[in-house]
């Protein structure tokens, strides 16, 4: 999970970020900003996909740098269609940004849900095995107490025998004494 699945998701997210930023920047370049200049990059993103999502940031410093105009005049909005197409259109990955992201959310959710189910199942297994083990090796206070009573009784019985024998021998030894009856 940690070494394979999560890096896979990170890679997907980076690819998505990188491709979207590239597509949006390309759409920017097709138009002109409010000052009549060719649209510059809207997003700055690291080259290559590694770390693209983390490095994604807005490059423009002023709303007037958004390339809305298609013909260079300030009032035109002809390039908006290109800009919004970057969101709805297909990226090089073959799917749109929204679909790509929705798929990722599904995969992450599904994997997390599977992992949590597996964890519960393994927990149940552990509990069952612990129970099986303890059913053989576990110490029951009730059992031990019962045994304790048994041994105590046996000890008492043995002690009674010893004391009886002692009494007997005392009586027997007294028989030969000088005392007359």
Partner 1 sequence: MRVNPNLVPDILAAIQQSQATLNTALQQVSTGKSVSVPSDNPAASADMVQNTIESGDVDQYTQNVSGVLTMVQTADSALGSVVSALTQAISLGTEGASGTNSAANQQALAQQVQGILSSVVSQANLSYEGAYLFGGTASSTVPYTASAASPSGYTYNGNDGVNSVAVGDQLSVQVNLPGSQIFSNSSNSVLGSLSTLVSALQSGNAASIESATTGVNTALSYVSQQRVFYGNAESQLNSQETYLQQETVSLSTQQTNLVGVNMATAATTLSQAETANSAALAAAAKVLPTTLLNYLSTPN
Which tokens go with 68? 């809305």
Q: Name the minimum Å distance from CB 144 to partner 1.
A: 9
**Which residues, at least 6 apart from 68, have a Cβ–Cβ distance to it below 8 Å?**
31, 33, 34, 76, 77, 79, 80, 83
Q: Name the minimum Å distance from CB 174 to partner 1.
A: 33
> Are 104 and 66 contacting, i.e. CB atoms less than 8 angstroms apart?
no
Instruction: Name residue 32's beta-bridge partners.
Output: 38, 69
The site for partner 1 (CB under 8 A) is made up of: 69, 71, 73-78, 80-81, 84, 88, 98-99, 101-103, 105-113, 116, 123, 127, 130-132, 134-136, 138-143, 145-146, 149
**Which residues, at least 6 apart from 57, have a Cβ–Cβ distance to it below 8 Å?**
43, 44, 45
Q: CB nearer to partner 1: give 44 or 147.
A: 147
The span from the CA of 51 to the CA of 56, in Å, is: 9
Q: Name the minimum Å distance from CB 58 to partner 1.
A: 18
Q: CB nearer to partner 1: give 139 or 171.
A: 139
**Which residues, at least 6 apart from 59, have a Cβ–Cβ distance to it below 8 Å?**
40, 41, 42, 43, 44
Q: Name the minimum Å distance from CB 23 to partner 1.
A: 16
Distances (CA, A) of 134 to 125, 130, 170: 14, 6, 52
Q: CB nearer to partner 1: give 72 or 92.
A: 72
Q: CB nearer to partner 1: give 112 or 157.
A: 112
Q: CB nearer to partner 1: give 37 or 98.
A: 98
Q: Name the minimum Å distance from CB 132 to partner 1.
A: 8
């Amino acid at each position: 999970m940690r070494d394979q699945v999560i890096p896979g998701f990170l890679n997907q997210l980076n690819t998505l970020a990188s491709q979207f930023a590239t597509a949006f920047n390309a759409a920017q370049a097709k138009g002109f900003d409010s000052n009549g200049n060719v649209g510059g990059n809207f997003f700055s993103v690291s080259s290559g996909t590694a770390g693209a999502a983390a490095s994604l940031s807005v490059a423009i410093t002023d709303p007037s740098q958004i390339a809305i105009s298609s013909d260079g005049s300030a009032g035109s909005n002809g390039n908006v269609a290109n800009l919004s197409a970057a969101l709805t259109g297909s990226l090089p990955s073959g799917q749109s940004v929204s679909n790509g992201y929705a798929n990722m959310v599904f995969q992450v959710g599904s994997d997390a849900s599977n992992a949590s189910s597996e964890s519960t199942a393994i927990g149940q297994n552990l509990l069952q095995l612990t129970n099986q083990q303890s059913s053989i090796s576990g110490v029951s206070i009730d059992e031990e107490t019962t045994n304790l009573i048994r041994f105590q009784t046996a000890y008492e019985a043995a002690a009674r025998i010893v004391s009886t024998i002692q009494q007997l021998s005392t009586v027997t030894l007294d028989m030969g004494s000088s005392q007359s009856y």
